[in-house]
A and B are shown apart, each in its own frame.
Chain A
Amino acid sequence: MGFLKTLLPGDIAAGLALTGKYFGRVFFSANRKKIRTQLKHFTQEYPEVKVRLAPRYRGRLTMLKDEQGEIKCVCCLACEKICPTQVISIEKGKKEGRKMPFPVRYDFEMERCIFCEFCVESCGFDSIILNHQFELAGYNREDFSLGLEGTSQNMFTASPVGHHSVAEDEKR
């Protein structure tokens, strides 16, 4: 007779109230003429509207600079050692007026990267992060070899390979 509990009008009413609440919320927040940033539903209208990502989303590896525009990386090679697919290779060097070692080369082979964020966790100097870029498709292999040099394919700015969505068009 336990199942009879599911027949009780009170329980059914509680369930209906819950779904009704959600219906009202979505009904009054969706279907507006202007695109809203604060939405009550989980659907992402991706190609047209910019995606809302979780704060800890793991996108492409990016190097950070400090306030003086200096590279934060000190070539401790922690990221290179912990990387399970060995996509990072660093060449140590020296620079005028800088006590810490300086990366002459910091190569990142994105085509083998598994976006596990071990490199960022192992970094003791907070000099690398995974950004929120996920549109990483490219037309040739060279697009996936990133380094310190170059204007379009370096470790400091977002990759240029991802300008395929309307949301990106809008930003430009």
Chain B
Amino acid sequence: MPSQAIPMTLTQTLTMGLIQILAVLIAVFIMVPLLTFAERKVIGYMQVRLGATRLAGGHVGITGPMNRAMWAMGKVPMLSLLRGLPIFIADALKLITKEDIIPAKADRGVFTLAPIISVMAAFGVFAAVAYFPGTLFVFPKGFPIVGGLPFQGFITDVNVGLLFILGLASVGVYGIVLGAWASNSKYPLLGSLRSAAQIISYEVPLTLSLLVPVLLSGSLNFKDMAVALATGQGLSPLAIIPLFIGFFIYLTCGFAETNRVPFDLAEAETELVAGFHTEYSGMKFGFFYLAEYANMIVVSALATAFFLGGHFLLPFGLQRFVPASAPFIGQPSFLFFFLKVCLILFAFLWVRATLPRYRYDQLMDVGWKWLIPLTLVNLFVAALIRFAF
């Protein structure tokens, strides 16, 4: 439990917890559609096209007359400057209002349970992610129930946060496997078997690469690790080497964990129709979709906190060269954390636009024969630096 400076009643504790959970949920529910929109635009730009441009920016519809007038003046319409940004609302509406079809021979109970497991595993992880180590703001005194209480930058302060996150994140594969099994169809089953093998294989190097920051900071707590690694207290400057290598290994495994290109074998659409969610439609499909993008945000948040210096400006213990008295860059800020998460999410899209998919045996080769030995060597180097220097 977090150490509370101000004593709270049970009602206050529960209300505060609810408010913080709601804040994080709303933030994620806004982030995910924005991310899908960003995906369209970023991949469009990388393939030398424009991506989504035509919602509320064309010359028909409610905003049509205004847009026509602006096109005639030789200007790109105001709404079109955002280039179809309203599409993210349309996407969400479409998923919610679509007909939900359950195949006749599907196992109805498990079929419904699977997306729930998937989305719960993805969202539960956010409970232990610390966006900011301290208080973001304090509720004003006159506020009902929670007046005068601090709004913290994390939901709970779990002292084995990393263990909790890794444990819950690997539950997500149950959603994929159960959903595919319950669909009673060939393609989903093949996709889910691949996915299970892939996630279990890549869990090993992922965890091993995350052991490097654990070893160097000597803690499993989210906040403590971020602070220790960014400021580099009691760390040799050489620690940057295993952290740097570990970051790239972690990112590679993170791509595999979230089933993103180039490791999206679970839904290889050229081979398996749509992989594990072939039979899903409507909001059940939406849940899988939501879980995938939420997982992307979690992986980015973990990479930010453990490798990129979290809420400090500079990663890899370089923050110690910035004086703490410096006006903005010397102090931890929520903004830095958010910025780094966005950068890694951009990297996700960038890689998707660049690399082709790996073949299944290549994927296994890379995971077992190269990444695991590499992480072990990296871990050994980290241990050497921790105890010898």
A interface residues, Cβ below 8 angstroms from B: 3-4, 6-7, 9, 12, 15-16, 18-20, 22-23, 25-27, 30-35, 40-43, 45, 47-49, 166, 169-170
Contact = CB atoms under 8 A, between A and B. Distances in A.
Interface in B129-171: none
Contacts of B42: 23
Contact of A35 (B67, B76, B351): B76
- The B interface is mostly helix, strand or loop, or mixed, namely helix
Contact of A16 (B48, B76, B350): B350
24 contacts: A4-B370, A9-B248, A16-B350, A16-B354, A18-B354, A19-B353, A22-B45, A23-B42, A26-B44, A26-B45, A26-B49, A31-B76, A34-B76, A35-B71, A35-B76, A41-B45, A41-B48, A41-B49, A42-B48, A48-B58, A48-B71, A166-B68, A170-B71, A170-B72
Contacts of B355: 12, 15
B46 interface: yes
Contacts of B207: none
Contact of A33 (B48, B68, B75): B75
B8 interface: no
Contacts of B83: 30-31
Nearest to A17: B354
B362 interface: yes
Contacts of A31: 76, 81, 83
A135 B353 CA distance: 35
B366 interface: yes
Interface string B66-86: 011001101110000101000
A26 B48 contact: yes
A19 B354 CA distance: 6
A72 B81 CA distance: 49
A19 B358 CA distance: 19
Contacts of B353: 19, 23
Interface string B273-300: 0000000000000000000000000000
The 9 closest A-B pairs by CB, nearest first: A43-B50, A26-B45, A19-B46, A48-B71, A43-B49, A19-B354, A15-B354, A23-B45, A23-B46
Interface residues of B, number: 32
Contact of B50 (A15, A16, A32, A41): A41
Contacts of B331: none
A120 B331 CA distance: 73
Nearest to A36: B76
Nearest to A49: B71
Nearest to B352: A19
B47 A22 contact: yes
Contacts of B365: 3
Contacts of B74: 34-35, 170
Interface of B: 42, 44-50, 53, 58-59, 67-68, 71-72, 74-76, 81, 83, 248, 350-351, 353-355, 358-359, 362, 365-366, 370
A45 B53 CA distance: 9
Contacts of B358: 3, 6
B117 to A, nearest CB: 33
Nearest to A24: B45
Contacts of A26: 44-46, 48-50
Given A33-B75, A166-B71, 8 more contacts: A20-B350, A30-B45, A30-B50, A31-B83, A42-B49, A43-B50, A48-B58, A48-B71
Most A C-beta atoms less than 10 A away, residue of B59, B76, B353: B76
A34 B75 CA distance: 5
Most A C-beta atoms less than 10 A away, residue of B48, B83, B362: B48
Contacts of A34: 74-76
Contacts of B58: 47-48
Contacts of B68: 166
A145 to B, nearest CB: 32
B366 A7 contact: yes
B81 A33 contact: yes
A19 B71 contact: no
Given A20-B350, A166-B59, A7 B370 contact: yes
A34 B70 CA distance: 10
Contacts of B48: 22, 25-26, 40-42
A7 B359 CA distance: 13
Nearest to B262: A6
A103 to B, nearest CB: 40
Contacts of A19: 46, 350, 353-354
Nearest to B71: A48
